[in-house]
Amino acid sequence: MVGTIQEGIRLFNMKRWELAIQEFVEALSRVNPEDEILSLDLAYYLGLCYTKLEQFDEALIYLEQVVTGAQDVMRVHQCRITLAYIYVITKRTKMAESELARLAENGFESVQVYTILAYTAWADRQYQKAVDLYKKALQIDNNNATAINGLGYILVDTAMDPQNGLLFCKKAVDMNPKNPSYLDSLGWAYFKNGNHREAVNWLRRALDLAPQHKEIRNHIKIVAGEAG
Q: What is the pTM of this model?
A: 0.70
pLDDT for position 88: 83
Question: What is the identity of the amino acid at 69?
Answer: G
| pLDDT band per the 50, 70, 90 thresholds, residue 226 | low
The Cβ of residue 119 has, within 10 Å, a number of other Cβ atoms equal to 22
> CA-to-CA distance for 58 and 72, rounded, in angstroms?
22
Distances (CA, A) of 191 to 173, 187, 218, 220: 16, 6, 13, 10
Q: Which residues, 6 or more positions from 122, have their beta carbon under 8 angstroms from its beta carbon?
A: 130, 150, 154
Task: Provide the angle, in degrees to the nearest 10, between the axes of the packed helices 196-209 and 214-227.
Answer: 150
Give the pLDDT band of residue 228 (cuts 50, 70, 90). very low
Complete domains list, the chain, with CATH: 143-228 (1.25.40.10)
Length of the chain, in residues: 228
Does 63 score more than 90 pLDDT? Answer: yes
| Least confident segment among 17-26, 111-120, 175-184, 196-205 | 111-120
